Amino acid sequence: MEEATNEKAKMPLVGMTLAGLQDVVASLGMPRFTAKQLAEWIYVHRATSFDVMNNISKANRARLQESFTLGLEPPVKEQRSVDGTAKYLFDVGDGQAVESVMIPDDDRATLCISSQKGCRMNCYFCMTGKQGFHGHLTANQIINQVLSVPESSQLTNVVFMGMGEPMDNLDAVMQAIEVMTAPWGLAWSPKRITVSSIGKLRELQRLVEETHVHIAISVHSPYHSERAGIMPVENAYPIHKVMQMLSHYDFAHQRRLSVEYIMFNGLNDDLEHAQALEALLDGQPIRVNLIRFHAIPGVKLQTSNEQRMTAFRDYLNSRGIICTIRRSRGEDIFAACGMLAGKNKNQK
Q: Which residues are catalytic, by number?
A: 99, 337
Contacts 24+ apart (CB under 8 A), 320-323: 321/278, 321/281, 321/286, 321/287, 321/288, 322/287, 322/288, 323/287, 323/288, 323/289, 323/290
Our CA angle for 175, 98, 40, nearest 5°, is 40
